[in-house]
Amino acid sequence: MTSADWPILYRQYLAQLQSRADAALARGGFDHLVVPSGTLHYQAFDDRDYPYAVNPQFKTWLPLTRTPGSWLVYTPGTRPRLVYLQPRDYWHVVPQAPAGYWTEHFDIVVIRTPEEALPHLPAAAGCAILGEPQSALGDYVPNNPQAVVDYLEYHRAFKTPYEIAMMREATRRGVRGHRAAERAFRAGASEFGIHLAYCQAAGQDSEELPYGNIVALNEHGAVLHYTDRGRLPPKPARSFLIDAGGSHGGYACDITRTYAADAGDEFQALIDAVDGAQQALCAQVRAGIDYRQLHLDAHLALAAILKEFGVIKLAPEAALATGVSAAFFPHGLGHGIGLQVHDVAGFAASDAGGTIPKPEGHPYLRLTRVLEPGMVVTIEPGIYFIDLLLEELRQGPHADAVDWARIDAFRPYGGIRIEDDVVCTDGEPLNLTREGFAEA
């Protein structure tokens, strides 16, 4: 699929989006959907603004991510309208005139000040207005009706071919970054240097990326969301964990890889084992599979690896039941991904609300739904040597289940995580990340 296909794919996607919006508005009893793109936020007692983050409900409709003060209006049975703020401003680069494959589907009104949007919005009384409180303009105060939001967010889990195409592009960027980052690591760069190499190769600056890069050398790999970026390389640099994405058209990819400096050392063997388990889990991304079960399967697979490497002495089932496996794998197996790196509605029981609970003892799982074709999920098992959790384990009733000398051997490497983005289909899963690396 090439960019030449995007206009057709987008047309299909928009038709799908309109029918979802029709149903969502009917659920809530509204006549119009009105979505502000969001506004700039300012730092306290300062005239500096925070990086602008577009309202996801807005970028669902159009691949626009840098247009604060704009509005999307949709009334069932009519063409969607874009009220597009292009301010008179010589201090900043103003948003470019709307262009691209999507413009022919919208009635576009260009405004020069935020207030000029008002006459182009339908009567406020019948509007479902989806946005943050700061986007309020006159009578147009976001009301975020639950019935409308529940319906839209539940169905957003099912990606159309257009969305998969956008995620493929995001993945291409991410893969370019990851390959450059591995080269920088092997050349002896610092975490900060690796991060810069990543951004350069991905062609995206920090605030364009879907989340802050996690670039961790040695023990830092044990900090799940390590974002400090040391300015000097440690000596020696033994291991490297990188969790970094890319974005395209508002869509994200989320990729994690772990490397050992020395291909001959035991940490590389542990990485290979986690990689094998990760690929087996990716192969299980199939319609009808309960993601909660996949998460528990991940615990069993990782516990088997820990036993094989002599780190724990328990059988996998016992490691899971006692919580010992959770000391080494203390996060969820993954999450939905799309317009948001942690996509919404991970616990949604239905498009009319309700919550699917997490398995007891697994508070950090972000996805509890049964997989269906079109869902895109991350699969990101890991094994970490986290001082805080290991100390709790040592003080607890299962201290004997662990070989502490083996822990000490692995602790200087921090941890391992391998993460791919996988599409659930009617048949074989489609692994966007592995496909991206193979293509590169």
Binding site for Mn ion (CB under 5 A): 254, 378
Those residues with Cβ within 8 angstroms of residue 31's Cβ, 6 or more apart along the chain or in another chain: 25, 75, 76, 122, 126, 127
Instruction: Report d(CA 42, CA 329) in Å as an integer.
Output: 38
CA distances from 419 to 191, 304, 414, 415 (A): 20, 19, 17, 13
Nearer to Mn ion, 150 or 419 (CB): 419
Instruction: Report d(CA 73, CA 81) in Å as an integer.
Output: 5
Residue 367 Ramachandran class (φ > 0 left, ψ -120 to 50 alpha, else beta): beta
Give which of 49, 57, 105, 115 is closest to 81, Cα–Cα.
105
Is residue 420 a contact point for ligand GLY (CB under 6 A)? no
Nearer to ligand GLY, 52 or 211 (CB): 211
Give residue 123's identity as a one-letter amino acid code. Answer: A
Those residues with Cβ within 8 angstroms of residue 83's Cβ, 6 or more apart along the chain or in another chain: 70, 71, 72, 73, 109, 111, 117, 120, 121
- CA angle 162/167/172 to nearest 5° reads 125
- Residue of the chain from 243, 297, 420, 421 that contacts ligand GLY (CB under 6 A): 243
Give the shortest CB-276-to-Mn ion separation in angstroms. Answer: 20
Nearer to ligand GLY, 254 or 420 (CB): 254
Nearer to Mn ion, 109 or 224 (CB): 224
Nearer to ligand GLY, 17 or 285 (CB): 285
- With CB cut-offs between 5 and 8 Å by kind, which of Mn ion, ligand GLY, none does residue 343 bind? none
Give the shortest CB-336-to-Mn ion separation in angstroms. Answer: 10
419 is in an annotated binding site: yes
Give the shortest CB-194-to-Mn ion separation in angstroms. Answer: 19
Using CB under 6 A, which residues numbered 192 to 221 contact ligand GLY? Answer: 211
Nearer to Mn ion, 208 or 266 (CB): 208
Is-contact 402 256, C-beta < 8 A?
Answer: no
Is-contact 137 114, C-beta < 8 A?
Answer: yes
Is residue 153 a contact point for ligand GLY (CB under 6 A)? no
Give the shortest CB-74-to-Mn ion separation in angstroms. Answer: 31
Nearer to ligand GLY, 243 or 351 (CB): 243
Give the shortest CB-419-to-Mn ion separation in angstroms. Answer: 5
254 is in an annotated binding site: yes
Give the shortest CB-378-to-Mn ion separation in angstroms. Answer: 4
Residues touching ligand GLY, count (CB under 6 A): 3
| DSSP-assigned letters across all residues of 45-98 | TSSPBPPP---HHHHTTSS--S-TT-EEEE-TTS--EEEEE----SSSPPPPPP
243 is in an annotated binding site: yes
Is-contact 268 256, C-beta < 8 A?
Answer: no
Give the shortest CB-382-to-Mn ion separation in angstroms. Answer: 10
Give residue 21's identity as a one-letter amino acid code. Answer: A
Task: Please give the residue whose beta carbon sits closest to Mn ion in the complex.
Answer: 254
Give the shortest CB-254-to-ligand GLY separation in angstroms. Answer: 5
CA distances from 110 to 53, 54, 60, 422 (A): 21, 18, 20, 39
Nearer to ligand GLY, 36 or 210 (CB): 210
Tell me the backbone φ, ψ of residue 255, rounded to 5 degrees: -130, 135
- With CB cut-offs between 5 and 8 Å by kind, which of Mn ion, ligand GLY, none does residue 211 bind? ligand GLY
Is residue 254 a contact point for ligand GLY (CB under 6 A)? yes
- With CB cut-offs between 5 and 8 Å by kind, which of ligand GLY, Mn ion, none does residue 101 bind? none
Give the shortest CB-210-to-ligand GLY separation in angstroms. Answer: 8
Burial class (CB in 10 A: 0-12, 13-18, 19+), 286: middle
380 is in an annotated binding site: yes
Instruction: Report d(CA 226, CA 207) in Å as an integer.
Output: 17
Give which of 114, 113, 106, 138 is closest to 125, Cα–Cα.
138
89 is in an annotated binding site: no
- With CB cut-offs between 5 and 8 Å by kind, which of ligand GLY, Mn ion, none does residue 37 bind? none
Nearer to ligand GLY, 54 or 253 (CB): 253
Instruction: Report d(CA 323, CA 314) in Å as an integer.
Output: 11
Instruction: Report d(CA 393, CA 324) in Å as an integer.
Output: 7
Please give the annotated binding residues for Mn(2+), written as ranges. 243, 254, 335, 380, 419
Please give the annotated binding residues, written as ranges. 243, 254, 335, 380, 419
Residues that bind ligand GLY (CB under 6 A): 211, 243, 254
